[in-house]
Amino acid sequence: MDFTAITAPAWRRFAKEYLLARLAPTLDEVAVLAHAYRTPLALTSCHQRLRALTGWLNWLTSHGVSSLDQVSQQHCDRYLNQRRARHDPDGNPVGPLGDYSVRLIAAVIIELAYYTELFTADRYPPGFLPWSGRSAWAVTGANPPGSNTTPVVRQQVLAPMLAATLYLVGTLAEPITLLRRGLAAHQDQVRALPGSHATPAALRVVLRRHESTGIPLEQVADHIVHGRLARGWADDDPLLAVNLHALARRTGRAKISNTTVQALRPAIEHTLRLVGVERPWGRDAPHVERADGAGPIRWTLPIDEADVRYLADHLFTACLLVTATVTGMRECELMELRTGCRRPPAEDTLDRHRLTGTLVKGQPLGGTRDEWVVIGEVDHAIAVAERLHRTERRDGDLLFGRFAFASRYQHLRSWVNGPAGRRLGLDPIPDDPVNPRMLRRTLAQELAYRPGGLLATKIHLKHVSVATTEGYAARPGGAQAKLLAEISEHETERNQQLILAEYRNHQQQIMPAGPGARDLTALFAHIDAELSAHAPIAPGVLDSDKHVINLLSKRAGTLHLGAANYCWFIDPARALCLTLAGTPTADKPLAGMCDSARCPQATHHPCHRDVWADTVTQATAFLGNLGRTHTAERARLRGELARAQRVLDAIDTASGSSTASDAESE
């Protein structure tokens, strides 16, 4: 940090004391202060505060204030009003400053009063508290942030992105790694060659070998062709695209002279006409299955050295994306992962994979060691990234290190959407912004809204949910605990919106079905009566969504989603799944043992109709295909069909659309 920008030398020590207090709140001198902050700031935040503090102190200096005990509320107001606008280099206002920037300026001015007793160089006058203790948000008039405003990644973007990255990590990782390893070995051999020129006799031997084997000559990269054209080569020169130095390297020498090229030009052109020219890497690429299942194909066309490095970078980015998408790790946590972070599964953990890393946000300087429980796809992605590590692999080296996510993602997207991606059957990725914060929020919402579903049709969310929960149980204060808290917030919001939607359906005479329908309908009727009772007293108060959600919030807290029903887990003693499992005191239902047609706390709604209709269709088809000897299986399927048909009929009857079910049965 540069404190020399503060024009008054006496205040530089003051600025250092303030920032040290924000960086290390556990110091004895700071911890005893009543109003000091208890959470350490990140270095980036300290840089921002230093800029804001420098502006404040330099403004005071320019206005004749030589000591902080001369500062008054008038100084604070004047400075803040002046800083509300952005200025050009000549000092002319060019537009308003953003809310966050204005709030930060006010916050720094206020915070200096919180650490008055700590400062040794200078301090505000005794008892002075800018703006009488009001918060920076209140002073600036900006609205404090409410709910998380980070957008989620659209499914239309998430699905092809995750499909492409998993295809790279799963199918192409091995051939790309082998190709990159071969390139590294080749470059080592080239560096070891003597710097002398190849002789014409040795070159003629190499040319005859090409002619006898039919192996094409090596083609140079496009940028070398452009360089040759710029140096005066004719665009119809047969040797324009031929890698002449590659011929020299096959003789055991590093170079070929222009004199030798001109002398051997007829021989080289003759060989070129016989065998042609082709890029050197990936000529014998093995076949892999296309991503769209359209059959096997060579995983790459012949490419040059630069393309090999680009492919390795794309694979590295794919490993990063898979890890970020499926674990929800923050960007700072991804940067702190190190080679050797994979931990072998313990014998009693059902093959659970674990990663060790560092929790940074909200932690002391240097972070706190943490551990993530992850699924197999993430463990494999980390293993691939370790094999791609640019230096000789040593445990403890940064794995991903500092990365520019935006540029890496755009380069990968361009490759997926380009000829190579289309050739491999990869779906194009739309041009939406994507970053680790958005991926974390998307994962949290997916786990909350579709806990038993799939993440972009690729990753079983149930597996991710179990891994996250186990990570929380192992380290209750760790990063996965924070992710679980975010998921819980989304689940609460989801439940409130679902029960509100069912209440609105009730008002439209679209009723629930199932054994628990009577209790739910009675609750809705009670809410109607309560709203009606207040209407004459306060006719201007409407039953807004927020008001209704407040009335329904307790019941919303009992809602658990099933694939074909809603479970209102009000009384564990009445839960059929717990009774069957012999665990009547459990605090959550057992979705795998749910029999919603008989459980008194289960309801069926129109949104579940398709699931039951599919069950009826499949059971009917199976019955038609069974032979006469399968009597036991026929009896079981008939019972399942009758049960599903009863539920389907009940849903249609309760929702007032029984004709649809009648048409299906015909």
Query: What is the DSSP annotation of 336-362?
Result: T-BTT-EEPPPTTTTT-EEEEEEE-TT
Tell me which residue has tokens 């694979």.
315
Q: What average pLDDT score do residues 59-74 get? A: 93
Tell me which residue has tokens 């520019």.
404
pLDDT at 660 over 60: no
More confident residue, 209 or 545: 209
Tell me which residue has tokens 């149980």.
473
Residue 298 and residue 353 in contact, taking contact as beta carbons nearer than 8 Å: no
Residue 51 and residue 38 in contact, taking contact as beta carbons nearer than 8 Å: no
Return the pLDDT at 662: 47
Return the pLDDT at 158: 95
Report residue 479's pLDDT band, with 50, 70 and 90 as the boundaries: confident
pLDDT at 658 over 80: no
Tell me which residue has tokens 């009488």.
132
Q: What average pLDDT score do residues 484-511 get? A: 89
Mind spelling out the 3-state secondary structure of 185-244? HHHHHHHHCCCCECCHHHHHHHHHHHHHHCCCEEECCHHHHHHHHHCCCCCCCCCCCECH
Pick from 492, 490, 517, 494: nearest CA to 606: 517
pLDDT tens by residue, 223-265: 999 999 999 999 999 999 999 999 999 999 999 999 999 999 9
Q: Give the SS3 label for residue 87.
A: strand
Helices marked H in 361-478 = 376-387, 405-417, 419-423, 436-449, 461-474
Give me the DSSP letters along 108-154: HHHHHHHTTTT-SS--PPTT--GGGG--HHHHHTPPPP-S--PPPPP
Helices 517-534 + 545-556 axis angle, to 10? 140
Residues 6 or more apart whose Cβ sits within 8 Å of residue 662: none
Return the pLDDT at 366: 76
Q: Is the pTM of this model over 0.75?
A: no
Report residue 40's pLDDT band, with 50, 70 and 90 as the boundaries: confident
Residue 354 and residue 414 in contact, taking contact as beta carbons nearer than 8 Å: no
pLDDT tens by residue, 296-318: 999 999 999 999 999 999 999 99
pLDDT at 101 over 70: yes
Q: What average pLDDT score do residues 405-413 get? A: 96
pLDDT at 391 over 70: no
Residue 287 per-residue DSSP state: E
Report residue 144's pLDDT band, with 50, 70 and 90 as the boundaries: low
pLDDT tens by residue, 318-368: 999 999 999 999 998 999 999 999 987 765 555 678 899 888 777 777 788
Return the pLDDT at 538: 47
Residue 303 per-residue DSSP state: B
pLDDT tens by residue, 527-559: 988 888 765 554 444 457 788 888 899 999 999
In terms of residues, how long is the chain? 666
Return the pLDDT at 622: 87
Q: Residue 249 and residue 270: Cα distance in Å, rounded?
A: 20
Residue 334 and residue 436 in contact, taking contact as beta carbons nearer than 8 Å: yes
Residue 515 per-residue DSSP state: T
Return the pLDDT at 570: 93
Of the ranges 147-151, 203-207, 624-628, which is most confident? 203-207
Pick from 361, 398, 397, 379: nearest CA to 323: 379
Q: Give the SS3 label for residue 460.
A: strand
Q: What average pLDDT score do residues 124-141 get? A: 90
Mean pLDDT, the chain, as a whole number?
A: 88
Return the pLDDT at 257: 93
Give me the DSSP letters along 414-431: HHHHSHHHHHTTPPPPPS
Torsion of Cα atoms, 509 then 513 then 518 then 521, to 10° = -30
Helix (H) / strand (E) element for 85: namely strand 85-87
pLDDT at 66 over 70: yes
Strand partners, 455: 459
Please, what's the largest Cα pairwise distance for the chain? 108
CB-based burial, 215-226: b 16+ in 10 Å, e otherwise: ebbbbbbeeeee
Helix (H) / strand (E) element for 469: namely helix 461-474
Return the pLDDT at 350: 55
Q: What average pLDDT score do residues 72-93 get? A: 86
Residues 6 or more apart whose Cβ sits within 8 Å of residue 310: 411, 415
Q: Residue 578 and residue 591: Cα distance in Å, rounded?
A: 10
Q: Among 351-355, 356-360, 565-569, 580-584, which stretch is predicted with the lowest mean pLDDT?
A: 351-355
Residue 577 and residue 589 in contact, taking contact as beta carbons nearer than 8 Å: yes
Of the ranges 101-110, 310-319, 606-615, which is most confident? 310-319
CA distance readout (Å), 625 to 618, 633, 637, 642: 11, 11, 12, 18
Q: Among 109-113, 363-367, 621-625, which stretch is predicted with the lowest mean pLDDT?
A: 363-367
pLDDT tens by residue, 434-466: 999 999 989 988 888 776 677 776 777 767 777
Return the pLDDT at 542: 45
pLDDT at 422 over 90: yes
Return the pLDDT at 119: 92
Q: Residue 562 and residue 498: Cα distance in Å, rounded?
A: 13
Q: Residue 141 and residue 102: Cα distance in Å, rounded?
A: 10
Of the ranges 167-176, 353-362, 490-499, 621-630, which is most confident? 167-176
What proportion of the chain, given as a percentage, has pLDDT over 90?
A: 61
